[in-house]
Amino acid sequence: MTSQVSYSVAVIGFPQLIARNWWLFLLRGIAALAFGALSFVWPGISLLTLILFFGAYALVDGAFALAAAIVGRGSAPLRWWLVLIGLLGIGIGIATFVWPGLTALTLLYLIAGWVVATGALQIIGAIELRKAIENEWWLILDGAFSVLFGILLFIMPGAGALALIWLIALFAIAYGILMIGFAFKVRKYNDQTP
């Protein structure tokens, strides 16, 4: 009974913590937009530059996700998915900088695995939040888009380097727009909470 009560209190408080820290989701979206825009502006960049851009983006995205989970302390039952997304992003970002000589195919599978895992975790997190906040569909849509993009990368590993760069850039821009949309929807929730 006590654990049920504490879980209920955590469910009630967690959306308010997310709403209060909406700007962390906004920063994740802006980082994704910046990564996508840079990939479009310089499509002829070398593979090493793409790897470093991706590593920086994954590291920043992971840090912001982890920060959102840490700022939401006291709501442990509902923030585990943000911690996993954060740790996964930081780990992939560090691995990318430690081994920048990855082949294009290895990078592709690394990106695909990361995108599928983070997308699935976002869907799970949004499902947990569905009873507590409105507009969780932004996070579900973002997660579903991530999973589909990752599957597409697994299915088509032989795509040309330029096509791969544009595909990744399109994904990053769409992901960023959806994350920014989620941030502003959550911000509205914060404005409406006393």
Tens place of pLDDT per residue across the chain (194 aa):
444 433 333 444 556 777 777 888 898 899 889 888 888 887 666 567 777 888 888 898 899 888 888 886 655 556 778 888 899 899 989 988 888 776 567 777 888 888 899 899 889 888 887 777 777 788 888 889 889 988 988 887 766 556 777 878 888 899 899 889 988 988 887 666 55
Q: Mutual orientation of helices 161-192 and 2-20 as an angle, nearest 10°?
A: 110
For tokens 């959550």, name the residue.
186
For tokens 């980082």, name the residue.
31
* Polymer length in residues for the chain: 194
Q: How far apart are CA 127 and CA 122, in angstroms?
A: 8
Tokens of 137: 């569909």
Residues 11, 132: contact at Cβ < 8 Å? yes
* Closest listed residue to residue 49, CA positions, set 124, 117, 107, 118: 107
* Closest listed residue to residue 35, CA positions, set 65, 56, 63: 56
pLDDT of residue 6: 39
Q: How far apart are CA 33 and CA 41, in angstroms?
A: 12
pLDDT of residue 11: 44
For tokens 């690394």, name the residue.
110
pLDDT of residue 147: 92
Q: How far apart are CA 139 and CA 43, in angstroms?
A: 29
Half-sphere CA count of 49, side-chain side, radius 13 A: 13
Give the containing element (helix H, strand E) for 121: helix 104-129
